[in-house]
Amino acid sequence: MTTHHVVVIEINQDKISRSQWENIRKQNPKASEGAAVFCLAHLTGKATLKSLERNDFSVLRHKLKKKGKTLHKPLCRTTSCKITAYRYAEDLVETLRQSEVFVFYDNPVAHRVYIIRLENAAWKDGNKFARANGGKAGDWKEFLYVGETKLTVEERYEVHKRLVNGEKDENAASIVHQHGYEIAHDLMEEFQDQKYTIADALEKERDVALELRKRGYATWFN
């Protein structure tokens, strides 16, 4: 089971560039000049978390987050639920901004929810799909994968299916890479033009998958 870590990093203000300051101020128009600057990051790796706990921020990819000064441990959160992690982060950002500090959190309303049809062989692949849905293969109308993405649905499907040096892309879901065969546009009419924040997209992904199960479709979602 994947563990999700939401970490809160105080940034060394002396190292923030002019362009980074402009971006930070745009996100925090009510913040007080001279107030502390925080960043939020999502981690799933224990090694990276251990480095941050030692105040080593060089392991992070984001240029601003690399300029961290200290980890604000009382506000950090660990959970086994991805939705809980991102919802906590979004709520914490609003709470911190109300206290008039600067918070950098890149979370645009840019995520889409999508559905991919899966071949019947997905039912027997490792048994995870079958266990998640129950019953027998013949009990279900179709087999479906429900996901969310910042890409277009077509671009995300391409990532799922493509090969990189003879292997699936590291960002592809194995079940879609092996068994996905088309985008289920007909099942997406209600929300295919909608965009969400990451937490809202994850909740919508879950809700769509569970509603489809009620309607007789076997579904997989992360």
Enclosing domain of residue 90: 4-104
The answer on 118 and 99 residing in a single domain is no
Handedness of CA 61, 63, 64, 66 (dihedral sign): positive
The answer on 75 and 17 residing in a single domain is yes
Specify the pTM: 0.90
The answer on 149 and 90 residing in a single domain is no
Q: Are 185 and 194 within 8 A, CB to CB?
A: no
pLDDT of the residue at 91: 96
The answer on 165 and 121 residing in a single domain is yes
pLDDT of the residue at 105: 95
Band of residue 45 on the pLDDT scale cut at 50, 70, 90: confident
Per-residue H/E/C for 142-183 = CEEEEEEECCCHHHHHHHHHCEECCEECCCCCHHHHHHEEEE
Predicted confidence (pLDDT) at residue 222 exceeds the cutoff of 90:
no
Per the structure, how many domains does the chain have? 2
Rounded distance between C-alpha atoms, residue 114 and residue 160, angstroms: 13
Domain finish residue from 76, 104, 132: 104
Predicted confidence (pLDDT) at residue 78 exceeds the cutoff of 80:
yes
pLDDT above 90 covers a percentage of the chain that reads: 93
Rounded distance between C-alpha atoms, residue 137 and residue 218, angstroms: 8
pLDDT above 70 covers a percentage of the chain that reads: 100
Number of Cα atoms under 13 Å in the Cβ half of residue 26: 8
Domain finish residue from 104, 136, 163: 104
